[in-house]
Amino acid sequence: MKFPLYFSKKIAFSKDNKNNLSRVIVFIGRLSVALGVIVSLLTISIGFGSKKAIKERMADFSGHISIKSKQSNNSYNSSILSTEGLKVDKIKALPDVASTQKYVAVSGILRNEHNFAGIIFKGVGKDFDSARFRKFLVEGHLPAVTEKGYNNGICISKKIANDLHLNVKDSIVAIFSKESQKPLYRKFEIVGIYKTDIKMIDDLFVIGGINHARKIQGMQSNDVGGIDVFLKNINDIDEDAPKIDKLAGYKNYTVKATDQYPQIMDFIAIFDMNIALIIIIMLVVVIINIIMVLLILIIERTKSIGMLKTLGATNGQIRWIFINYTLLIMIPGLIFGNLIGLLLLFIQKYFGIIQLNPENYYLSVVPVEINVLHIILISVGILIISGISLVLPSYLISKISPVKAINYN
């Protein structure tokens, strides 16, 4: 074992350290490290967890990638999806694709004696991914969608239900209008109420049977207005979008869930800046405290430094003794910081104690993402950066004279 590390361990774990004057400074140093680790863990886990949760909510509702007709021109009303060049089977066969579902969307109005609400009626068929949508349900059940005949059951958002004073099993009239035609009236039964916490979705979308939407749009029984493609991992969306676009046909186009709501993506982008800023601030605090600990230890052990120099130890060896000594002092802070940070994250993950206002944050509960790699990088990063930052102040040792150091009181 190298001399500096051996000697560092000896003085770091010596019983004499328990009663010396530096114990308060050592405690403060360890506390700053622990707080730095806790805040960094919470910041990264909550930041990345929030980004992922918001993206997944958008994608689980409307598909990670949607295939639409170019004739729709970004309108809420679906145009017939062209089958020329559209290779649905090959899209389903892509390794990252979990499922697909067809739909037809049409804009309309829900109206009763209490109020009215502009809506987007999204008609879905028998391939509707009900398991993915079920997480949004707060009351009732999903409509029993079918492509044979008509089912009058619909699922509306909690926001629309509150605005129109509707409950499960209530009836509501929907009005759909088309150019140069009389308005079409449809009576539906509320069978379910959902809540995504994303305002742009909850304010508009109603889920019902695809045949109603086909009838309103004047489509044939096998026509579809679009296809939602669900991926196994939201992080693959940028990689898979071009592949799906090539299989969508030249008369159709694809749009990513992250592109459908740019205002939400602008909000998510703020997380990256906040995460970086908080991590930098915590690193600065930890480094300042650790440098303070090193300087106090050097001053306190001036006599020991003089003796080591007298016995032939070089300035470089002594510097590394104190750098290693300081880093060893940090280890309990790292351990307790990780334990406390992980405990807080697990409590939030499984009990959801901290709530949010969904109108401002698109989430009702603070989400966390516990990533082992992030945990390791935080601890190792703090150790490495602290070690590098200690090199310069450790040069104070070279200024200490052995004769004066031995006589130092």
Say what the pLDDT of residue 376 is.
Answer: 93
Domain boundaries, position 337: 3-56+265-406
- Do the Cβ atoms of 230 and 64 come closer than 8 Å? yes
Beta strands 184-194; 252-256: pairing state: unpaired
E strand or H helix that includes residue 184: strand 184-194
Cα–Cα distance for residue pair 202/116, rounded to 1 Å: 15
Last residue of a domain, one of 218, 234, 257: 257
How far apart (Å, rounded) are the C-alpha atoms in residues 217 and 205? 17
What H or E segment, with its residue span, contains residue 24?
Answer: helix 23-62
pLDDT at 403: 53
Residue 386: what pLDDT?
Answer: 87
Q: At 243, which helix (H) or strand (E)?
A: helix 237-246
CA 172/CA 403 separation, integer angstroms: 94
Find residue 140's DSSP bridge partners: 192
Would the pLDDT of 1 be above 90? no
What's the mean pLDDT in 36-49?
Answer: 93
Residues 209 and 75 in one domain: yes
Which secondary-structure segment (H or E) carries 209?
Answer: strand 205-209
Average pLDDT value for residue range 274-295 = 88
Counted domains in the chain: 2
Angle (CA) 264-266-268 rounded to 5° is: 70
Question: Is the domain of 273 the same as that of 236?
Answer: no
Q: Are residues 319 and 359 in the same domain?
A: yes
DSSP state of 355: B
Q: In the block, which residue shows the tokens 């200690």?
A: 390
Nearest in space to 103 (alpha carbons), one of 72, 83, 78, 120: 78
Identify whether residues 227 and 85 lie together within a single domain.
yes
Q: Are residues 146 and 248 in the same domain?
A: yes
Residue 355 has pLDDT above 60, yes or no: yes
> For residues 66 and 7, which has the higher predicted lDDT (pLDDT)?
66
Q: Do 216 and 279 reside in the same domain of the chain? A: no
159/220 same-domain check: yes
pLDDT band at 297; cut points 50, 70, 90 = confident
Cα→Cα distances 271→130, 275, 276, Å: 31, 6, 9
Instruction: Check whether residue 302 and residue 380 sit in a common domain.
Output: yes
DSSP structural state of residue 97: E
Residues 80 and 169 in one domain: yes
In Å, what is the CA distance from 3 to each residue of 48, 135, 157, 305? 43, 60, 69, 14
* Last residue of one domain, picked from the residues 239, 257, 275: 257
Mean predicted confidence (pLDDT) in 107-121: 88
pLDDT of residue 400: 65
| b/e burial code for range 178-206 (CB count within 10 A of at least 16 → b) | eeeeeeeebebebbbbbbbbbbebbebbb
Produce one character per residue of 279-298: b if its CB has 16 or more CB atoms within 10 Å, e if not. beebbeebbebbbebbbbbb
Shared domain for 151 and 18, answered yes or no, is no
pLDDT tens digits along 117-135:
899 999 999 899 988 999 9
- Quick one: 228 and 304 in the same domain? no
pLDDT at 286 over 80: yes
Find the DSSP H helices in 125-184: 130-133, 158-163
Instruction: Work out the percent of the chain whose per-residue pLDDT is above 70.
Output: 89
**Model confidence at 188, in pLDDT bands (50, 70, 90)?**
very high
Q: What confidence score (pLDDT) does residue 14 get?
A: 59
pLDDT value, residue 401: 62
User: Does the pTM of the predicted model rise above 0.95?
Assistant: no
Per-residue model confidence as pLDDT tens digits over 245-284:
999 999 999 999 888 888 888 888 888 888 989 999 999 9
- Same domain (yes/no): 87, 40: no
Domain final position from 228, 257, 286: 257
Task: Give, as one character, the DSSP assignment of residue 48.
Answer: H
